[in-house]
Amino acid sequence: MSERYRPQVVDHLVRPRNAGEISDPSGRGESGDAACGDVACFTVGISDNVLKHVRYKVYGCAACIAAGSALAELVEGRHLLDAARVSKAGLVDALGGPLPAGKEHALTLVLDALHKAFEDHWNRKAGDMLDAHRGRGAGGKSVVAAMSGGVDSAVTSLLLKEAGYDVATVTFRLHDGERGSRSCCSPDTVLFARDTAHRMGLPHFTLNLKDLFDRRVMQDFVGSYTEGRTPNPCVACNAHVKFHASSFLADELGFHHVATGHYARVEEGPTLARPVDESKDQTYVLWPVPRELLARTIFPLGKYRKTDVRAIAEERGLAVAYTPESQDICFIPDGDYRRFIRKKVAAKPGDVVDDEGRVLGRHAGVVDFTVGQRRGLGVSAPTPLYVSEVRPRSGQVVVGRRQDLEVREVRVRDLNWFLDPEQAACVQVRYNGSPVPCTVEETANGGWVAYLDEPVIGVAPGQSAVFYTGDGERVVGGGVVARRSS
Amino acid sequence: MTEPVYLDNAATTPLDPRVLESMLGHLGGRRGNPSSLHAFGGSAREELEEARDSVASLIGASPGEIVFTSGGTESDDGAVLGLARSAGPNKRHAVVSSVEHAAVREAARRLELEGFEVSWIGVDADGIVDPVEFAAALRPDTALAAVVWANNEVGTVEPVPELAEICAEREVPFHADAVQAAGRVPIDVSETPVSTLALSGHKLYGPQGVGALYVREGVSLEPIIYGGGQERGLRSGTQNVAGIAGLGTAARLAREEIEPRVAHERTLRDRVMAGMEALPDVFVNGHRERRLSNNVHLTVSGVEAESLVLFLDSLGYAIGSGSACSSGGHKASPVLLAMGLPEREAFSVVRITVGKDNTPEEVDGFLGAFSTAVEQLREISPLYAG
């Protein structure tokens, strides 16, 4: 048996504060599971970002009931920013001291339920308008910082706080593949991010963007492969999800800026510029951020090297200091994107052909192929063969020699310009590629074409083409590589 | 506040003042080691043997078949592990009910780790072992079978005499955990052919930390504690003379007073049950008739057990949360799951166990407090629609 409860806990148990349920709440949040023995439910009434009413219900041990009661008492009447800052430590103080060993989960449970009620409030307010949201101007020193739970975003928030900003942190629920999803409480990533924010004394919010992310990122990802394009889900997320949602929350809170832990810099204009740490440069995936959102965006890490960021985390005692680098594709944690796609769409076999249409072999489905790929073609030839084109309609995978893949012009669509296109002096067509000198020209159908000074290979439709200035430092604009025929 | 009311007698009983009296001489006076040859030792030895007689009488055994232990858990472990380890290399199978106290259950799980195969015998919704299923599980290589005489959580009394007969016919050693049953259910090992049987002092108004293991004459049992060979070599270590003297007195009183005690408990238990029937969505678990005279086990819909126990504690009433042993960690009781209770209800169970010293007035006061606590906790429960 565990040690005894403090009298404060028993008092909350016997005389619970704010127990009950609001009939027409601004938000409702539930955490826990009857099969685990604990369920907490919060309903909140919010107006003008003030928590006018808080009611809670708990099925669970005395610690859970007392923690729920103490939390409801603590946050009622407070501004959302202050309520969202209440940490486990603050709750422990309100309960007169630490709970008995083994009962600490009560704190996590009730905080999670309250935060889910806030999340519900935001999501109700956002409705379907979330992805259409556009930012207001910059200027003041307040910022909504996106927190994933990793070291980069944690240090981002910390640096902003130390620079004198009012910081509110936000974590997005993007998909169900998050680490440590359990039946009780939120996935570990959300709980971890919340703990990290609270340890820095910062308010933390969550937003449920699963529908938006599914529509704008995951469906596009699957669709791209089936259409023979090579998608970049980070680009899609930056174009439609992350910055819009951060901006929505900033507007709701009356905050000026948004921030993320990307390695890039925002210069006057606004212009996107390469970061100090070139090895971590993320400008290639940030080109689609709309200008009006970029104008209010801060990338504090643009001035730091990754090693500095880790050192800062370590020096300030952030528990995230040793977390591993995040995955390439966050919703495919095992990295096996082919298996992921095959679960969504049935693969149809087809022919492997050369550029004259001669059949060289069979393949199990076009989703397995991407332009530039050399392995797994199932065709033997005297010289190495590469995928030069994927034709989803006919199910053909075209292969050729390395030199057959060389292109000297790249067609680009869906452009987002930060600077005058005339300043585009070179183009980068792969995440880890180098910019190639080029000249650009607008085409009749509203797209652009880049004429390359030297040939490049493996330019895959669907990938990003990002234009840089002559010194290679600033992003002029970017777009999506179109099919050669289009 | 008035003196708190104790209704958790299945966890431990109060110490009977007469038991305390019988122990004091061995705690404060001169004392010897019962193994010593001199007068000091002789006096201690006499105490031990007197207690052995009393314990033997309680269950119809011969004094030579009683081994003193440190309590119910040691008795159960000693029987289960001891019978298994003395069964020979060709007998690597055990038959164990799925409603055992943790002492037997965990000992059987230990046997599984040692390579034994254990057949866990299911129960019906009341927690009763089916003798037919039990008999069917016995095999030529079965080293032992074990079924609790009366379950410590829901209080269901198992058909142990019948099961023991089946085992005797099949020549399979049979262990019965009678820690809760002793003093409430008539136990006579001269009629019921158990091989071993576990008893505990502190469930009988005796002291904590002392118990006994009945080992039928002729049953071979490998000890689990080695040393100076006390207790016929089955339980080495200098005996807890004061505790054993207390156990002896408690056993004598239990035998002498079993009828009025059981009648008194039954009256109070039925009073509790009747009071519970007036409350909405409160259900009695376990068999209605074949249950211990002191036990009421309840599912209280929408209320988590620990919060109810502590709420009542603050009102001056002590009851048990399901099983005292499993409330340290948040895990559903295997006994309740075996009875088919849904996992989501397994945290909404409490146990009220009356004793010889409780009064009808205490029960009435308790019923009022219980109703208040349940009502208030349900008001804040998201799982109770009412």
How far is B235 from chain A, CA to nearest CA, in Å? Answer: 28
- Which of A7-11, A129-133, B262-266 is the most confident on average? B262-266
Which of A16, A62, A68 minimises the CB distance to B306?
A62
pLDDT per residue over A356-393, tens digit each?
A: 888 988 998 888 888 888 887 878 778 888 898 888 88
CATH of the domain at A359: 2.30.30.280
What is the model's pLDDT at position B308? 96
Q: Looking at the structure, do residues B245 and B366 belong to the same domain, yes or no?
A: no
Q: Looking at the structure, do residues A233 and A311 belong to the same domain, yes or no?
A: yes
What is the model's pLDDT at position A432? 79
CATH of the domain at B371: 3.90.1150.10
Higher confidence at residue B219 or residue A182? B219
Q: Find the chain A residues whose C-beta atoms sit closer than 8 A to any C-beta of B.
A: 1-2, 5, 10, 13-14, 16, 19-21, 30, 34-41, 56-62, 64-65, 68, 102
CA atoms within 13 A on the CB side of A388: 19
Q: Report yes or no on B385 lying in a domain.
A: no
Last-in-domain residue among A322, A357, A373: A322
pLDDT at B381 over 80: yes
What is the model's pLDDT at position B323? 46
Q: Cβ A59–B330 below 8 Å, yes or no?
A: no
* Phi/psi of residue A330, nearest 5 degrees: -65, -30
Q: Looking at the structure, do residues A361 and A412 belong to the same domain, yes or no?
A: no
What is the model's pLDDT at position A189? 84
Q: Looking at the structure, do residues A365 and A416 belong to the same domain, yes or no?
A: no
Residue position matching structure tokens 């792969």: A430
> Residue A179 — very low, low, confident or very high, per pLDDT cuts 50/70/90?
low
Q: Looking at the structure, do residues B115 and B34 belong to the same domain, yes or no?
A: yes
**What string of DSSP letters covers A2-69?**
PPPPPHHHHHHHHS-SSBS--SS-SEEEEEEEGGGTEEEEEEEEEETTEEEEEEEEEES-HHHHHHHH
What is the model's pLDDT at position A122? 94
Q: Looking at the structure, do residues B204 and B272 belong to the same domain, yes or no?
A: no
What is the model's pLDDT at position B222? 97
Q: Looking at the structure, do residues A200 and A253 belong to the same domain, yes or no?
A: yes
pLDDT at A54 over 50: yes
pLDDT at A320 over 80: no
Cα distance from N-terminal residue to C-terminal residue, chain B: 32
Which of A5, A39, A62 minimises the CB distance to B383?
A39
Q: Looking at the structure, do residues A297 and A430 belong to the same domain, yes or no?
A: no
pLDDT at A412 over 50: yes
Q: What CA–CA distances, in Å, run from A274 to A20, A266, A472?
A: 53, 9, 8
Of A387-401, A406-420, B129-143, minimum mean pLDDT range: A387-401
How far is A169 from chain B, CA to nearest CA, in Å? Answer: 29
Q: Report yes or no on B53 lying in a domain.
A: yes
Q: Which residue of A has its CA nearest to B378?
A: A59
Residue B117: CB atoms within 10 Å: 14
How far is B105 from chain A, CA to nearest CA, in Å? Answer: 19
A86's tokens: 């209440």
Higher confidence at residue B141 or residue A37? B141
| Cα–Cα dist B309/B298, whole Å | 12
Q: Cβ A30–B382 below 8 Å, yes or no?
A: yes
Q: What is the mean pLDDT of chain B?
A: 95
Q: Classify the C-alpha dihedral A150-A155-A156-A158 as positive or negative.
A: positive
Q: Looking at the structure, do residues B229 and B276 belong to the same domain, yes or no?
A: no
Residue numbers of the domain that contains B100: 17-253
Q: Looking at the structure, do residues B103 and B193 belong to the same domain, yes or no?
A: yes
Residue numbers of the domain that contains A463: 407-481
Contact residues for A485 (Cβ-Cβ < 8 A; gap 6+): none
What is the model's pLDDT at position A1? 42
What's the longest Cα–Cα distance across chain A?
Answer: 84
Q: Looking at the structure, do residues B316 and B185 belong to the same domain, yes or no?
A: no
Q: Looking at the structure, do residues A423 and A393 belong to the same domain, yes or no?
A: no
Using alpha carbons only, what angle is made at residue B313 by residues B310 and B318, rounded to the nearest 5 degrees? 110
Q: Looking at the structure, do residues B229 and B273 belong to the same domain, yes or no?
A: no
| A465 CB-contact burial (10 Å; exposed 0-12 / middle 13-18 / buried 19+) | buried
Average pLDDT, integer, range A441-445: 90
ipTM above 0.90, yes or no: no
Chain B stretch 109-138, residues whose beta carbon is closer than 8 A to a beta carbon of chain A: none
| Cα–Cα dist B309/B302, whole Å | 14
CATH of the domain at A435: 2.40.30.10
Q: Looking at the structure, do residues B129 and B168 belong to the same domain, yes or no?
A: yes
Q: Report yes or no on A116 lying in a domain.
A: no
pLDDT at B48 over 90: yes
Q: Report yes or no on A216 lying in a domain.
A: yes
Q: Looking at the structure, do residues A92 and A60 belong to the same domain, yes or no?
A: yes
Total number of domains constituting chain A: 4
| B327 shares contact with chain A (CB less than 8 Å) | yes
| Cα–Cα dist A21/B371, whole Å | 22
Contact residues for B9 (Cβ-Cβ < 8 A; gap 6+): B203, B294, B353, B354, B355, B358
Q: Report yes or no on B98 lying in a domain.
A: yes
Q: Report yes or no on A81 lying in a domain.
A: yes
Residue position matching structure tokens 């995951």: A218
What is the model's pLDDT at position B325? 36
Which of B324, B376, B380 minimises the CB distance to A58?
B380
Q: Report yes or no on A119 lying in a domain.
A: no
What is the model's pLDDT at position B327? 41
| 3-class state of residue B23 by DSSP | helix
Cβ neighbours of B320 in A, within 8 Å: none
CATH of the domain at B197: 3.40.640.10
Q: Which residue of A has its CA nearest to B303?
A: A59
| B374 shares contact with chain A (CB less than 8 Å) | no
Which of B307, B376, B383 minimises the CB distance to A62?
B307
pLDDT per residue over B340-355, tens digit each?
A: 998 888 899 999 999 9
Q: Looking at the structure, do residues A167 and A245 belong to the same domain, yes or no?
A: yes
pLDDT per residue over B269-325, tens digit each?
A: 999 999 999 999 999 999 999 999 999 999 999 999 999 999 999 999 999 987 443
| B322 shares contact with chain A (CB less than 8 Å) | no
- Please name the amino acid found at residue B48: L
DSSP state, B123?
B
Q: Looking at the structure, do residues B192 and B324 belong to the same domain, yes or no?
A: no
Last-in-domain residue among B225, B253, B281: B253
Cβ neighbours of B384 in A, within 8 Å: 59
Which secondary-structure segment (H or E) carries A225? helix A219-226
Q: Among residues B325, B332, B337, B377, which one is catalytic?
A: B325
| Cα–Cα dist B44/B63, whole Å | 16
Total number of domains constituting chain B: 2
CATH of the domain at A15: 3.90.1010.10
Helices (H) and strands (E) in chain A, counts: 15, 20
Q: Looking at the structure, do residues A302 and A373 belong to the same domain, yes or no?
A: no
| Cα–Cα dist A345/A388, whole Å | 23
Q: Cβ B347–A37 below 8 Å, yes or no?
A: yes
What is the model's pLDDT at position A135? 52
Please choose, from the candidates A356, A417, A390, the residue with its C-alpha nearest in 3D space to the C-alpha of residue A485: A390
Q: Report yes or no on A197 lying in a domain.
A: yes
How far is A336 from chain B, CA to nearest CA, in Å? Answer: 36
| B385 shares contact with chain A (CB less than 8 Å) | no
Q: Looking at the structure, do residues B201 and B71 belong to the same domain, yes or no?
A: yes
Q: Which of B310, B315, B350 to mutate to test the interface with A (most CBs of A within 10 A)?
A: B310
Q: Looking at the structure, do residues B185 and B207 belong to the same domain, yes or no?
A: yes
Q: Cβ A59–B310 below 8 Å, yes or no?
A: no
Of A377-386, B188-197, B206-215, B341-350, minimum mean pLDDT range: A377-386
Pairing of strands A257-259, A142-146: parallel
pLDDT per residue over A148-170, tens digit each?
A: 888 999 999 999 999 999 999 99
Last-in-domain residue among B221, B253, B285: B253
Q: What CA–CA distances, in Å, run from A285 to A25, A39, A179?
A: 39, 41, 24
Q: Looking at the structure, do residues A424 and A380 belong to the same domain, yes or no?
A: no
What is the model's pLDDT at position A486? 36
DSSP state, B320?
B
Average pLDDT, integer, range A44-49: 95
What is the model's pLDDT at position B326? 38
pLDDT at B248 over 70: yes
Q: Looking at the structure, do residues B158 and B218 belong to the same domain, yes or no?
A: yes
| 3-class state of residue B87 by DSSP | coil
CATH of the domain at A208: 3.40.50.620
Q: Report yes or no on B384 lying in a domain.
A: no
Which secondary-structure segment (H or E) carries A439? strand A436-442
| Cα–Cα dist A328/A333, whole Å | 8
B376's tokens: 């208030």
Q: Cβ B380–A16 below 8 Å, yes or no?
A: yes
Q: What CA–CA distances, in Å, run from B192 to B98, B128, B195?
A: 22, 18, 9
Q: Report yes or no on B288 lying in a domain.
A: yes
What is the model's pLDDT at position B115? 96
Q: What count of CB pairs under 8 Å joins A to B?
A: 70
Q: What is the mean pLDDT of chain A?
A: 89
Q: Looking at the structure, do residues A295 and A168 belong to the same domain, yes or no?
A: yes
Cβ neighbours of A68 in B, within 8 Å: 380
pTM of this prediction?
0.87
B109's tokens: 């799980």
What is the model's pLDDT at position B194? 98
Q: Looking at the structure, do residues A186 and A283 belong to the same domain, yes or no?
A: yes
Q: Report yes or no on B201 lying in a domain.
A: yes
Last-in-domain residue among A404, A426, A447: A404
Last-in-domain residue among B214, B229, B253: B253
What is the model's pLDDT at position A34? 77
pLDDT per residue over A233-284, tens digit each?
A: 999 999 999 999 999 999 999 999 999 999 999 998 899 999 999 999 999 9
A213's tokens: 């992310």
Query: Which ranges constitute the DSSP H helices of A266-347?
Result: 283-286, 291-294, 306-315, 337-344
